[in-house]
Amino acid sequence: MACEAALTAGALGARMTGGGFGGSAIALVEADAVDAVAGAVHEAFGRAGFEAPAFLLAEPSPAAHRVL
């Protein structure tokens, strides 16, 4: 449900991970769409009667490079 809601709201990709005990979902989202995607996931959980999900936001770091 989290992945479907995220994708519908504009996530570029979404995937469940560790779903055996509730698990987590990770979504790749453009910076300007984060609030809309998080809101859509939150609303989907509410409509289904589930507790509100927690969100951990992360920004990618620069690519690895060799230091000489």
Confidence at residue 22, expressed as pLDDT on a 0 to 100 scale: 72
| pTM to 2 decimal places | 0.82
For residue 34, give the nearest of 16, 12, 62 by alpha carbon.
12
Whether 60 has a pLDDT exceeding 90, the answer reads no
Angle at 5 between CA 12 and CA 16, to 5 degrees: 70
pLDDT score recorded for residue 68 = 87
Q: How far apart are CA 14 and CA 16, in angstroms?
A: 7
pLDDT score at 18: 81
pLDDT tens track for 15-59: 998 877 778 999 999 999 999 999 999 999 999 999 999 999 998
